[in-house]
């Protein structure tokens, strides 16, 4: 692995999770101002990420279980670095549709701060699914 690759290695704590609309540049925090989560890059080439909204209630009804599913994101797989991107070959995910796919993320590393950007895509969290992206900020633990 290159020096650039090894700088991502370790455990990163989620600081913020924003969505940005492409046309208006409007930013929102769909899971509140203080979401939970970690992103881990292992020296063995595996990454894992788990992100949840802060305000969640235990699920004991179908409605509450659906709310839990809509406020979590998690996946793991082998990753590789390509310039300012990391690409993960997903082998387990909270969303079965992601298993076997490659998830590509842009990133910007500044000391102990890591900003991660998804590609522009329809945002299912907003009425009409306008084109948007997620922007996640992490702090090295």
Cα 62 to the center of its chain, rounded Å:
25
In CATH, what number is assigned to the domain containing residue 30?
A: 2.40.128.280
Q: Identify the band that residue 125 occupies on the pLDDT scale cut at 50, 70 and 90.
A: low
What are the pLDDT digits (tens) for 23-74? 999 999 988 889 999 999 999 999 999 999 988 889 899 999 988 988 999 9
Contact 18, 2 (CB under 8 A): no
Q: Is the alpha carbon torsion for 54, 99, 20, 126 positive or negative? A: negative
Which residues span the domain enclosing 38? 3-140
Please give the mean pLDDT across all residues of the chain.
92
Q: Which residue has the higher pLDDT, 124 or 55?
A: 55
Looking at residue 120, what DSSP letter applies? P
Cα 117 to the center of its chain, rounded Å:
8
Q: What percent of the chain has pLDDT over 70?
A: 95
Distance CA 78, CA 44 (A): 9
User: Which pLDDT belongs to residue 129?
Assistant: 83
Cα 25 to the center of its chain, rounded Å:
19
Distance CA 71, CA 58 (A): 12
User: Which pLDDT belongs to residue 38?
Assistant: 98
The answer on pLDDT for 124 being more than 80 is no
User: Which pLDDT belongs to residue 20?
Assistant: 94
The answer on pLDDT for 2 being more than 60 is no
Domain count, the chain: 1
Q: Is the alpha carbon torsion for 51, 54, 58, 64 positive or negative? A: negative
Distance CA 138, CA 50 (A): 12
Distance CA 59, CA 106 (A): 34
């Amino acid at each position: 692995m290159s020096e650039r690759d090894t700088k991502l290695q370790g455990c990163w704590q989620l600081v913020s999770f924003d969505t940005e609309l492409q046309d208006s540049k409007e930013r929102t925090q769909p899971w509140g101002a203080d979401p939970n989560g970690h992103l881990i890059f292992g020296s063995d080439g595996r990454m894992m990420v788990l992100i949840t909204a802060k305000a969640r209630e235990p699920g004991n009804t179908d409605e509450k279980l659906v709310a839990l599913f809509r406020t979590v994101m998690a996946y793991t797989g082998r990753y590789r670095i390509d310039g300012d991107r990391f690409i993960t070959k997903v082998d387990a995910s909270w969303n079965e549709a992601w298993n076997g796919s490659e998830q590509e993320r842009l990133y910007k590393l500044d000391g102990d701060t890591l900003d991660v950007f998804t590609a522009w895509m329809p945002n299912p969290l907003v009425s009409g699914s306008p084109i948007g992206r997620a922007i996640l900020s992490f702090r090295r633990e």
